[in-house]
């Protein structure tokens, strides 16, 4: 339902790779300051969903609306400019560029040159500014990916498996960061880590074979055991 | 082999290598960022040479000709980028190769229409020589080398010190991530193509006094320029510089040893390098997408 107060509305979204249809009639909404999680098996279509919202894939049907603007058909850089930013699963920073240069690109795109929030969330980055991003550890890369995406105060962050392969201490740090971030931006997080998902989400969509098969939106249902049924 | 020929041979090689370098940077950047093979760069090279020829003929000023050539190269490449390449960036590499070859052949036809088939000479603007290690070296060739060095420094500063340059480097690694940050990559593509076209025209203008300007001059350097790009490693400016020096020297010194070598030796060197390092000297595995 389009309530008008949502930051992001997806309705009837279908996506194909060539002739292979991978998303069927997806509908979801994200409200202000919400953390919405998306869970599902490998190959369920979670990455495809985020990439489509971010403009990297064109849907064959459906609508995507962010703050009254239709995103379908816009190039990814315009969607990012509208404040809907995708943080990819691959953890690929610009490895030939320094951490500082990676952040400079985020600033250049958004005209937001205030790195204070970034270094507040991730103090570690301060000490790594002049290091080539290619030399960063997996956790540091994820910090940089998030850091350069939150410049310009995005309205909606689309975060694809942020904790994949990271140590527990960094995962719990990211958990706090997402909570903090949600005060200013709404988040859609694709995640396999169910305890994390259940700890921070206001709403969970479970996906299977390209369809949303469940929507968990209250405290009683946002539990690891409930989520597990859908994996 | 006469050792007194070595110094002029080396300078000759460096000046030829400089021309190849100017053309190869553009090809390399265009492939790196946009994943296109832009054979039409050879057209802008020819256009550069012909504009220099005509302006020099009518005004008597070679350097004015070079300026006009660079301006023309910029204008023509900008137009081709808008009309042709914008529509095919998304397509396969082979698509850009065939399309740009079409642009090149069409452009050569237009050149023939305006300037005819007869090769045109462009007088060397500076005929003075300079003595280096006891041998006389044409100053003009030294100027060509200096221009290439200046361009290398300028491109290096552009890529490493300006935000647009940094965005281009980032895009060579991963253009989707650059887009995802909200950077207009279509504009980066245009800027990169413009740089390539302008440098190709500059190469043609500077090369004109050293050769005869004829409609097929682009096709004559094609093999050597591609060799420079491939040996250097696609997308690497430093690699392009080093490989253009190598190819220039092989062509020049090879011909001192045995004339037919000049044509063959570069290919042999390329094969050898590719056997050892298939990505070229500085080609990075990062470029796999
Ligand atoms: N470029 C592509 N071309 C064709 N099919 C694709 C492409 N990318 C993904 N797919 C297919 O689409 C389906 C959904 O893939 P997607 O990457 O969205 O899954 P996912 O839920 O993100 O999985 P994971 O948890 O492994 O990241 C899969 O069946 C996959 O094989
Ligand atoms: Mg995925």
Looking up tokens 């205030």, which residue turns up? A114
Whether B287 is in a domain gets the answer no
Counting residues of chain B whose pLDDT is more than 70, the rounded percentage is 97
Mean pLDDT is lowest, of B31-35, B73-77, B283-287, for B283-287
Q: Does B285 touch chain A (CB under 8 A)?
A: no
Which residue intervals of chain A are DSSP H helices?
46-53, 76-81, 99-110, 116-121, 124-127, 138-150, 168-181, 194-200, 224-228
Q: What percent helix, strand, coil does chain B show, rounded to 5?
A: 75, 5, 20
Nearest CA of chain A to the CA of B154: how many Å?
Answer: 19
Per-residue pLDDT, B267:
85
Segment B154-193, tens digit of pLDDT: 999 999 999 999 999 999 999 999 999 999 999 999 999 9
The candidate with the shortest Cα–Cα distance to A64, out of A29, A37, A97, A33, is A29
Per-residue pLDDT, B284:
64
Ligand 1 pocket test target in A14, A38, A47 with most atoms within 8 Å of CB: A47
CB-based burial, B230-258: b 16+ in 10 Å, e otherwise: bbbbbbbbebbbbbbbbbbbbbbbbbbee
Out of A88, A92, A105, whose CB is closest to B183?
Answer: A105
Q: How many residues does chain B have?
A: 289
Out of B183, B185, B286, whose CB is closest to A108?
Answer: B183
The pair of three-digit structure tokens given for residue B73, joined into one six-digit string = 């190269």
Mutation target among A80, A102, A109, A158 for the B interface, most CBs of B within 10 A? A109
CA atoms within 13 A on the CB side of B16: 22
CB within 5 A of ion ligand 2: which residues? A 47, 89
Q: What is the pTM of this model?
A: 0.92
A97: chain B residues, CB-CB within 8 Å = 166, 169-170
CATH annotation of A8-228: 3.40.50.300
Out of B170, B174, B184, whose CB is closest to A77?
Answer: B184
Contact A108 B170 (CB under 8 A): no
Distance B90 CA to ligand 1 centre (A): 20
Out of A76, A101, A149, whose CB is closest to B179?
Answer: A76
Residue B256's domain spans which residues? 3-276
The candidate with the shortest Cα–Cα distance to A117, out of A201, A169, A177, is A177
Which atom belonging to ligand 1 lies closest to the Cα atom of A44? 21
Domain ranges in chain A are 8-228
Nearest CA of chain B to the CA of A10: how many Å?
Answer: 19
Give dist(CA B64, CA B43) in Å, integer. 20
Q: What is the mean pLDDT of residues B257-277?
A: 84
Whether B281 is in a domain gets the answer no
* DSSP-derived 3-state class of residue A29: strand
Q: Does B181 touch chain A (CB under 8 A)?
A: yes
Mean pLDDT is lowest, of A113-117, B49-53, B174-178, B277-281, for B277-281
B177: chain A residues, CB-CB within 8 Å = 88, 92, 94
Answer whether B85's CB lies under 8 Å from B36's CB: yes
Q: How many CB atoms lie within 10 A of CB B211?
A: 17
Looking up tokens 């009837």, which residue turns up? A12
Q: Does A104 touch chain B (CB under 8 A)?
A: yes
Counting residues of chain B whose pLDDT is more than 90, the rounded percentage is 74
**Residues within 8 A of B (CB atoms), A 144-183 only:** 148-149, 152
**What is each CA distance from A75 to A58, A158, B52, B180, B254, in whole angstroms?**
10, 16, 40, 10, 51
Q: What is the mean pLDDT of residues B197-210?
A: 98
The CB of A206 under 6 Å from ligand 1? The reply is no
Mutation target among A47, A81, A88, A94 for the B interface, most CBs of B within 10 A? A94
Name the DSSP class of A163.
Answer: T
Segment B216-265, tens digit of pLDDT: 999 989 999 999 998 998 878 889 999 999 999 998 888 888 878 777 88
Answer whether A115's CB lies under 8 Å from A151's CB: yes
B184: chain A residues, CB-CB within 8 Å = 77
Per-residue pLDDT, B2:
64
Write the secondary structure of B86-116 as one string of H (helix), E (strand) and C (coil): HHCCCCCHHHHHHHHHHHHHHHHHHHHHHHC
Answer whether A133's CB lies under 8 Å from A95's CB: yes
Mean pLDDT, chain A cut into blocks of 10 residues (231 residues total)? 74 94 95 95 95 96 93 95 95 94 97 96 96 95 96 96 94 95 96 93 95 90 87 81
| Mean pLDDT, chain B, whole residue set | 92
Which residues, at least 6 apart from A146, have a Cβ–Cβ distance to it below 8 Å? Answer: A87, A121, A122, A159, A162, A174, A177
Report the CATH number that the domain containing residue B272 is assigned in CATH: 1.10.3470
Nearest CA of chain B to the CA of A72: how many Å?
Answer: 15
Name the DSSP class of A54.
Answer: T
- Greater model confidence, B249 or B134: B249
**How many domains is chain B partitioned into structurally?**
1
Give dist(CA B221, CA B212) in Å, integer. 13
Ligand 1 pocket test target in A15, A24, A45 with most atoms within 8 Å of CB: A45
Looking up tokens 């009683």, which residue turns up? A220
Return the sign of the alpha-carbon dihedral for residues A18, A19, A24, A25.
positive
Burial class of A176 by CB neighbour count within 10 A (0 to 12, 13 to 18, 19+): exposed
The CB of A45 under 6 Å from ligand 1? The reply is yes
Give dist(CA B155, CA B195) in Å, integer. 9
The pair of three-digit structure tokens given for residue B202, joined into one six-digit string = 């500059």
Residue A122 pairs in a beta bridge with: none
Per-residue pLDDT, B254:
84
Confidence band, pLDDT 50/70/90 cuts, at residue B269: confident
- Greater model confidence, B3 or A149: A149
The CB of A22 under 6 Å from ligand 1? The reply is yes
Q: Does B184 touch chain A (CB under 8 A)?
A: yes
Nearest CA of chain A to the CA of B17: how many Å?
Answer: 27
Per-residue pLDDT, B285:
54
Closest Cα to atom 14, ligand 1: which residue?
Answer: A45
Name the DSSP class of A103.
Answer: H
């Amino acid at each position: 339902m389009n309530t008008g107060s949502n930051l992001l509305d997806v309705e009837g979204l279908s996506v194909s790779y060539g002739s292979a249809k991978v998303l069927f009639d997806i509908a979801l909404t994200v409200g202000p300051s919400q953390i919405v999680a998306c869970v599902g098996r490998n190959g369920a279509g979670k990455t495809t969903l985020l990439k489509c919202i971010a403009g990297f894939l064109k849907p064959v049907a459906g609508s995507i609306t962010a703050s009254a603007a239709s995103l379908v058909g816009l190039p990814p850089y315009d969607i990012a400019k509208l404040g809907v930013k995708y943080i990819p699963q691959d953890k690929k920073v610009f490895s030939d560029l320094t951490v500082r240069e990676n952040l400079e690109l985020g600033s250049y795109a958004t005209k937001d040159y205030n790195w204070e929030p970034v270094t507040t969330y991730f103090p570690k980055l301060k000490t790594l500014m002049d290091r080539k991003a290619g030399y960063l550890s997996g956790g540091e890369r994820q910090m940089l990916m998030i850091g350069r995406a939150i410049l310009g105060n995005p309205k909606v962050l689309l975060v694809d498996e942020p904790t994949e392969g990271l140590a527990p201490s960094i995962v719990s740090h990211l958990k706090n960061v997402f909570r903090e971030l949600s005060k200013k931006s709404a988040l859609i997080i694709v995640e396999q880590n169910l305890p994390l998902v259940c700890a921070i989400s206001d709403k969970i969509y479970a996906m299977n074979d390209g369809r949303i098969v469940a929507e968990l939106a209250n405290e009683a249902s946002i539990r690891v055991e409930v989520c597990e049924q859908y994996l | 082999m006469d050792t007194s020929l070595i110094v002029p041979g080396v300078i000759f090689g460096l000046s030829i290598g400089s021309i190849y370098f100017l053309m190869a940077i553009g090809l390399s950047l265009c492939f790196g960022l946009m994943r296109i093979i832009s054979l039409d760069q050879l057209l802008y090279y020819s256009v550069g040479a012909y504009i220099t020829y005509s302006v020099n003929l009518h005004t008597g000023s070679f350097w004015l000709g070079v300026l006009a050539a660079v301006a023309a190269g910029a204008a023509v490449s900008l137009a081709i980028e808008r009309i042709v390449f914008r529509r095919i960036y998304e397509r396969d590499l082979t698509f850009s190769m065939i399309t740009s070859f079409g642009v090149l052949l069409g452009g050569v036809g237009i050149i023939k229409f305006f300037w005819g088939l007869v090769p045109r000479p462009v007088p060397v603007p500076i005929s003075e020589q300079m003595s280096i290690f006891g041998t006389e070296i044409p100053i003009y060739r030294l100027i060509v080398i200096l221009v290439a060095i200046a361009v290398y420094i300028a491109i290096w500063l552009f890529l490493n010190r300006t935000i647009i340059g940094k965005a281009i480097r980032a895009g060579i690694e991963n253009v989707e991530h650059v887009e995802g940050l909200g950077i207009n990559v279509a504009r980066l593509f245009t800027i990169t193509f413009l740089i390539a076209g302008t440098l190709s025209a500059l190469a043609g203008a500077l090369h004109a006094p050293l050769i005869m300007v004829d409609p097929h001059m682009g096709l004559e350097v094609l093999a050597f320029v591609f060799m420079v790009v491939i040996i250097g490693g696609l997308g690497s400016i430093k690699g392009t510089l080093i490989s253009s020096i190598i190819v220039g020297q092989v062509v020049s010194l090879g011909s001192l040893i045995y004339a037919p070598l000049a044509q063959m030796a570069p290919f042999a060197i390329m094969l050898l390098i590719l056997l050892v390092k298939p990505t070229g000297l500085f080609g990075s595995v990062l470029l796999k997408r």
